[in-house]
Amino acid sequence: MNVDGKEMRPIWFEKDSQTVKVIDQRFLPHQFIAKDLNTVDDTIYAIKEMVVRGAPLIGATGALGVYIALVQKDNKGCDNDYLNSQCKRLKDARPTAMNLFWGVDRVSSAALKHENYKNRVEAALNEALKIIEEEAFNCQKIGEYGLPIIEKISKKKNEKPVNVLTHCNAGWLACIEYGTATAPIYTAFDNSIDVHVWVDETRPLNQGSRLTAWELGKHGVHHTIITDNAGGHIMQHGMVDIVIVGTDRTTRSGDVANKIGTYLKALAAKDNNIPFYVALPSSTFDWNITNGIADIPIEERDPDEIKYVYGLLNGKSARVLVPPEESPAANHAFDVTPARLVTGFITERGVCKAAEQDIISLFPERSK
Ligand code: MRU
Tens digit of each residue's pLDDT (9 = 90 or more) over 158-193:
999 999 999 999 999 999 999 999 999 999 999 999
What type of residue is 155?
K
Rg (CA), the chain: 20
Among 259, 278, 298, name the best residue to mutate to test ligand 1's pocket (greatest count of ligand atoms within 8 A of Cβ). Answer: 259
Q: Is 207 a pocket residue for ligand 1 (Cβ < 6 Å)?
A: yes
Say which residues have a Cβ less than 8 Å from residue 105's Cβ, sequence separation at least 6: 87
The neighbour count for residue 29, using CB atoms within 10 Å, is 15
C-alpha angle 333-335-338 in degrees, rounded to nearest 5: 165
Q: Whose CA is nearest to atom 14 of ligand 1?
A: 170
The SS3 assignment for 276 reads strand
pLDDT tens readout for residues 8-27: 999 999 999 999 999 999 99
What type of residue is 232?
G
Dihedral (CA of 185, 180, 42, 123) sign: negative
How far, in Å, CA of 355 to CA of 2, rounded? 36
Q: Is 250 a pocket residue for ligand 1 (Cβ < 6 Å)?
A: no
Q: Is 96 a pocket residue for ligand 1 (Cβ < 6 Å)?
A: no
| pLDDT the model gives residue 355 | 98
Ligand 1 atom closest to the CA of 334, numbered from 1: 8
How far, in Å, CA of 34 to CA of 24, rounded? 6
| pLDDT the model gives residue 245 | 99
For residue 74, pLDDT beyond 70: no
Of the CATH numbers 3.20.20.105, 1.20.120.420, 3.20.20.80, 1.50.10.10, which one belongs to the domain with range 2-134?
A: 1.20.120.420
For residue 77, pLDDT beyond 80: no
How far, in Å, CA of 200 to CA of 69, rounded? 37
The neighbour count for residue 61, using CB atoms within 10 Å, is 31
The neighbour count for residue 352, using CB atoms within 10 Å, is 19
Q: Inter-axis angle of helices 182-190 and 117-156, to 10 degrees?
A: 60
Which band of pLDDT confidence, cut at 50, 70 and 90, is reported for residue 218?
very high
What type of residue is 172?
W
Q: Is 210 a pocket residue for ligand 1 (Cβ < 6 Å)?
A: no
Residue 249 CA to ligand 1 centre (angstroms): 10
DSSP character string of 292-311: HHHHSPPPEE-THHHHEEEE
Q: Is 286 a pocket residue for ligand 1 (Cβ < 6 Å)?
A: no
Nearest to 22 by CA among 49, 5, 30: 49
| pLDDT the model gives residue 75 | 64
Residue 246 CA to ligand 1 centre (angstroms): 7
Is 0.85 topped by the overall pTM? yes
116 secondary structure, DSSP code: S
Nearest to 275 by CA among 148, 139, 143, 137: 148
Say which residues have a Cβ less than 8 Å from residue 255's Cβ, sequence separation at least 6: 290, 291, 292, 293, 296, 336, 337, 338, 339
Q: Whose CA is nearest to atom 6 of ligand 1?
A: 54
Q: Which of 241, 248, 286, 335 is catalytic?
A: 248
Residue 286 annotated as catalytic: no
- Domain ranges in the chain? 2-134, 143-366
Report, at the CATH architecture level, how domain 143-366 is classified: 3-Layer(aba) Sandwich (3.40)
% of residues, the chain, pLDDT over 70: 99
pLDDT tens readout for residues 292-335: 999 999 999 999 999 999 999 999 999 999 999 999 999 999 99
For 196-219, letters b (16+ CB in 10 Å) and e give bbbbbbbbbbbbbbbbbbbbbeeb
Q: Whose CA is nearest to atom 8 of ligand 1?
A: 259
Q: Is 246 a pocket residue for ligand 1 (Cβ < 6 Å)?
A: yes
How far from chain centre, in Å, is Cα 229? 21
Report how far apart, in Å, the C-alpha atoms of 9 and of each of 2, 14, 176 are: 9, 12, 6
| pLDDT the model gives residue 165 | 99
How far, in Å, CA of 172 to CA of 2, rounded? 10
Among 168, 282, 331, 334, name the best residue to mutate to test ligand 1's pocket (greatest count of ligand atoms within 8 A of Cβ). Answer: 168
